[in-house]
Amino acid sequence: MVDARRFHVIAGLGKTGISVARYLRSRGVAFAVTDTRAQPPGVDQLREIAPDAECKFGALDAELLAKAEVIVLSPGLALAEPAIAAARSRGAQVIGDIELFVQVARAPIIAITGSNGKSTVTMLTGHLLNQAGKRALVGGNIGTPVLDLLEQPVPDYYVLELSSFQLETTYGLRAAAATVLNISEDHMDRYASLTAYAEAKARIYHHANVAVFNADDRETRRDFDRAHRHVAFAIHHSNAEYRVEHLNGRRWLTVGEQAFADLEHLPIQGEHNAANVLAAVALCEAVGVKAEKMRDGLRSFKGLPHRCVLVREHASVRYYNDSKATNVGAALAAISGIGPVITGKLVMIAGGDAKGQDLLPLTSALAHYARAVVLLGRDAERVSAVVPDSVTQEFVDSIEEAVTAAAALAEPGDAVLLSPACASLDMFRNYEERGDRFARAVELLP
């Protein structure tokens, strides 16, 4: 529980920092705020919440942090930041907003992480629970900051998307059900190795009642024995409790011996989304909601913006917005999800900030499914280096130029896929802006 006698410093403002400030002020806790940015987002809100709070902006203030007994660290700041590391060495406790939340949450928590698909699974899990007659609140790394969820009546379940950054500063999580959906290279600019990244994700299983792991991805088994029990979902592993089976020429999602949903009738398509659905169903069953109660919810779930969304079909070419694919694993999921279901080839738009990832896994997928790749952004040349010789390449300077170029390269039956495999911040405010501009350009095609 938060101790009002201890002096807190919020390191990093923005949406999460504001929620922390609101929470601490409501509990009478004295705090100060520091941020690396000279004008961090949320300053005006902070002045309304705590006009007397000391603020130091433009760099993490070492003097302020030296006085801190508890540092509430933004997910955007690393524990390895010199000022944070120095404060820890002096005995300061460093936690995140998730740790504050789990100390006081009065409903079971379903916790979801992974390199790709976690937002879809989080929203789908909340949707399935609500459609089954339970009351679920969704938040964390998506949508509402967790501490703001406490302002609403206590639900039956909290469904939380958690990033590896958030899990690094969380110690008291005891999830009713937890999953690591998959592991692929991401945030390699912050982690020394894929192992270090996977270990951060695996913290979600510690003390969980049920660990839901991906039998197709060995990395998701890491630490699963730290949970009381575990169950598996899989697309390609026939022994998993939650799996895909071929029955009478069709593919069915199956739980145990029960085939409960025809893949062709799901509103979200692609093999990656089949895995997402299985994970969500497994999480719901782990907290007592049976699969047969989820059929209506599965049929009514429409997916999330910027995640393999069909924008338009124009001149017999489909245009998909998958701007949320900010890493290689997400792009591979989109390629393997859409490539097999179209009659033609993919024209892919890729590039941006590669965040130190290994891009080489793209090569074989592009060789199999792609006609052309349109490249833009800071690491366009790095992406270009892994495109096979059989695939046409074209460089552009803007997303609008990319759409025009892709339209010219595409043939009837093809799909133009914005799935950048890179972060967006080198050219855009966020992946949403990148996706919105792509969609506008597609709608304007003559």
Nearest to 181 by CA among 90, 110, 103, 133: 110
Nearest to 204 by CA among 122, 272, 273: 122
Which of 127, 187, 272, 324 is the catalytic position? 187
Catalytic site includes residue 187: yes
Which of 8, 116, 118, 206 is the catalytic position? 118
Which of 8, 116, 130, 141 is the catalytic position? 141
- Amino acid (1-letter code) at residue 55: C
**Residue 190 Cα to chain centre, angstroms:** 16
Catalytic site includes residue 118: yes
Say how far apart CA 192 and CA 188 lie, in whole Å. 7
- Which amino acids are annotated catalytic? 118, 141, 187
